[in-house]
Amino acid sequence: MPFVQIYLGAHLTAKNKKDISLSVHQSLQDHFNIPAADYFQVIHVQQPEDLLYPDSYFDVPHTNNLLYIRITARSGRTVEMKEALYKSIAGRIAATTPVKEEDVVIVLVENELADWSFGRGIAQMVVK
């Protein structure tokens, strides 16, 4: 049930966008054990002047290929699962696109089962 928002530069191709999307989804399957059909993502294409970042942060250099990935998911994953997820996402993106691992910024936002509705105004994940 993760909901993924990806913010990236307009210079990246349609194939790059698909590869980034699949990298995130496959990593979520592998490390958060989500089902294949649990594929809810939005890609936000940004003009260069709309992606703001420092040249370096925590000794990690950034370039104009920087992208932001925001994952909203239910709480309950361990720190180790999260670290493995981040490494997997960055590695897969770097292996299939011109984006380097250093340019993949990930923010994980956690919530609870009652915070989700997949349609019909129903909180389907709440057990009644």
Phi, psi of 107 (to 5 degrees): -125, 125
CA separation, residue 48 to residues 8, 17, 22, 45, 52 (Å): 9, 16, 23, 10, 8
Read off the pLDDT of residues 26-56 as tens digits, 9 standing for 90 and up.
999 999 999 999 999 999 999 999 999 999 9
Strand partners, 56: 61
**Which of 41, 42, 34, 28 is closest to 125 using CA atoms?**
34
Tokens standing for residue 34? 């989500």
CATH code of the domain covering residue 109: 3.30.429.10
Read off the pLDDT of residues 56-66 as tens digits, 9 standing for 90 and up.
999 999 999 99
Contact present, 70 and 107 (Cβ < 8 Å)? yes
**Which of 110, 2, 8, 1 is closest to 68 using CA atoms?**
8
pLDDT for 25: 98
In the chain, the number of structural domains is 1
In this structure, is residue 128 part of a structural domain?
Answer: no
In this structure, is residue 124 part of a structural domain?
Answer: no
Contact present, 51 and 9 (Cβ < 8 Å)? yes
Domain range for 54 is: 3-115
Contact present, 32 and 85 (Cβ < 8 Å)? yes
In this structure, is residue 122 part of a structural domain?
Answer: no
Read off the pLDDT of residues 66-94 as tens digits, 9 standing for 90 and up.
999 999 999 999 999 999 999 999 999 99
128 has pLDDT over 70: no
Which residue numbers are catalytic?
A: 2
pLDDT for 10: 97
